Amino acid sequence: MSTLNDFWITEGPLDFEYKKYKLLAYLKHVRAGFKMNELYPEMSDLVHHYHNLVELKERKELIQVQFPKRLESADLSQLKLTYEKLVTDDQFMEELKAILDYAIPQMGATLEAGKAIHDFVEENLNLEPIGLVPIYDKEGYLLLKTSLARDIYVYQYQVSLFKSSGENYRAVNLKFIKNEWETITNNLRQIKLNLIKTFKELPNPATFFIYSEYDFPLTQTLLPISQRMLMRQIKA
């Protein structure tokens, strides 16, 4: 059980031991990734489920509508249907409360472990601009290097707008271009100049360099956190 869907609590039998088994199998998968310093996409998924559980605990009375009911009578003259609940309130609320009281702390503790790794990674990332940053910095280049790697990962970045739940948000999209080796002659500034010569649509690009003190997993950890750091830099 490596994933949970959004309805893992309400679908299937509402049984504490069954839900506990599903939850622990999922958290075992997440923690296994964390032990290897692999944060994403599990971290985002875990945050999503944790917030769902907290909201469910605060509004659990609304969840009763998801459980089955049986038509008891119909008054067609009044266009009124009467349903009989197949799960009693006491039975439902007691089992749901037990599941939530167990699941929220378990997810919260795993989330704190992931956050500690996230903070450690971020503390050991250094971001600096290469040359002057132009007024227009919504697209440009990101150069990324770890302490143990000899090559530099070169990405083109672009800030995009998207809407979620009626709110507007910004995100940094990365497109991998190539790998470069940093040498005495092929330093960071020279790499930037080569990019300008190759991609003439960006004649004066904002270019940033992120250096990692440790060799963290690239796709699962380093890139997502670097994207967030870059977004903060651009907003600032």
Residue with tokens 């702390």: 105
Taking only the tens place, the pLDDT of each residue in 33-59 is 999 999 999 999 999 999 999 988 887
Residue ranges of the domains in the chain? 16-122, 125-235
Mean predicted confidence (pLDDT) in 117-129:
96
How confident is the model at residue 216, as a pLDDT?
93
Residues present in the chain in total: 236
No. of helices (H) and no. of strands (E), the chain: 5, 7
Residue 228, amino acid: R
pLDDT digits (tens, 9 = 90+) for 149-200: 778 999 999 998 876 666 667 889 999 999 999 888 999 999 999 999 999 9
Q: Does residue 153 come out as left (phi exceeding 0), alpha (psi in the -120 to 50 range) or beta?
A: beta
pLDDT at 193: 96
For residue 24, the SS3 value is helix
**Average pLDDT value over all residues in the chain:** 86
73: left (phi over 0), alpha (psi -120 to 50) or beta: beta
Token pair belonging to 219: 């796709």
Q: Any idea what the Cα angle at residue 159 is, between residues 180 and 163, rounded to 5°?
A: 145
CA dihedral 209, 215, 221, 223 (to 10 degrees): 20
Select from 74, 73, 186, 203 the least CA-distant residue to 134.
Answer: 203
Tens of pLDDT, residue by residue over 95-112, are 888 999 999 999 999 999
- Quote the pLDDT of residue 88: 52
